[in-house]
Structure 1
Amino acid sequence: MTKRFVDEALALPPQMLVDAFERMLDLRVEGGKEASRAAVPSAAENSELERRITLAVRLRRDELDGFRRCLVTEASVVVSTAARAVLKRSRLTAEQYDVLVRPLSEAGVDVPPYRA
């Protein structure tokens, strides 16, 4: 489920990734920073997740950074933040989950439902 989410999110067009990253920054004041701290995966889970994200953005590096300088990094951050929420949603409140996945759900990514 998390892998599918990551793959779909990283397939978004560059402008949608920019918009999602900027939305994530806006939501930090609505509890995004605290929610992100609550969605910490194990070292093994994090390593697998980061490897998948890094490989996917590496394949699009020219396209993304050609569209906007540092978009590779921004896309990695927004997708990683939301993917950790998907992976660890049972640890989060519904509000925390929403604030972390909302930037990508608003971009049209199919977000797995929250479950406590």
Structure 2
Amino acid sequence: MKEGDFVTFGGFPGELRQAMSFDELSFGSFSIGASRVTSVNEDYLVCQFEREFWVKHGHEPEPDCIGGMSGGPVFAIRHGNEIDIVTYEFIGHIYEFSKNFELLYVRLARAWVT
């Protein structure tokens, strides 16, 4: 991954969770088509949200804060060179969201060989 690449992710923000009744919960989902990677480190990357470019769609309201999505999967958006096939590669999971600066932190997946 490098700065300027795009990722996609999804999860269940705390703001969209609702107690429908005593024994029923609704976990409103949230996903995003693409977010630009703004910083890459050895173990994690950061995406700065740019709400002015969001395309709204679906039935769920857009949450003010997407906190609570920790653990949600993150995929790199890859474009094939020869026939321009778009693929999605799992690269890690969400581990933090900074509400003040709208920064999404992604812990990169690693494979260990023993």
TM-score, length-scaled by structure 2: 0.27
Per residue, is there more helix in 1 or in 2?
1
Which gives a bigger RCO, structure 1 or 2 (Cα 8 Å, sep 6+)?
1
Name which one, 1 or 2, has greater alpha-carbon Rg: 2
